[in-house]
Homo-oligomer: A and B are copies of this chain.
Amino acid sequence: MKSSDILTIGEVSNRTGASVSAIRFYEDKGLLTPHRNAGGQRRYVRADIRRLSFILIAQQLGFSLKEIRTQLASLPEGRTPTKADWMRISRRFRRILDDRITVMSRLRDHLDGCIGCGCLSLRSCALYNPDDRAEDAGPGARYLLDGPPTKRRGIWS
């Protein structure tokens, strides 16, 4: 390595593209816990950067900081996470992505039929599932997957 293995927040910002304020914000939210030097400034080591990189990638994938924090919580406490630790998280995220892709594909396939048809009768429309909207379980419309939860009516009935 050319540069030191211990970086300041500004250096981390340059390497990752995350803003300094965002990096501090993630720490506030408990996603990062860098050490401090004698003067109270943050100092980042490899494992910290790796966590941050993971956060940024997971955000690209559409995960919230809350979901990301949950996943990061599964990493070991006492030691630096290994490749196997990260792979476990990767596999979990992949399964979630698989599901989201499946849902989006089905929605897409219903789109013409639903928006094009005369009814737009939401409660009986495969594109629209109000029961999902209450939860924060990611992209909704679960019943395209699971089947309708209750009986429903058209708009004009």
Measured CB to CB, the residues of A under 8 A from B are 1-3, 5, 15-17, 46, 49-50, 53-54, 56-57, 60-62, 83, 86-87, 89-91, 93-94, 97-98, 100-101, 104-105, 107-108, 111-112, 114-118, 120-123, 125, 127-130, 133, 139-141, 153, 155-157
Contact = CB atoms under 8 A, between A and B. Distances in A.
Contacts of A2: 156-157
Contacts of A112: 87, 90-91, 94
Contact of A60 (B87, B120, B127, B155): B127
A128 B56 contact: yes
A54 B90 contact: no
Contact of A49 (B57, B83, B155): B155
Nearest to A17: B130
Interface SS of chain A: helix
B15 A155 contact: yes
Contact of A57 (B1, B57, B105, B122): B122
Given A16-B155, A86-B115, A93-B115, 7 more contacts: A2-B156, A3-B156, A49-B155, A50-B120, A94-B108, A94-B111, A101-B104
A141 B17 CA distance: 14
Contacts of A157: 2
B56 A122 contact: yes
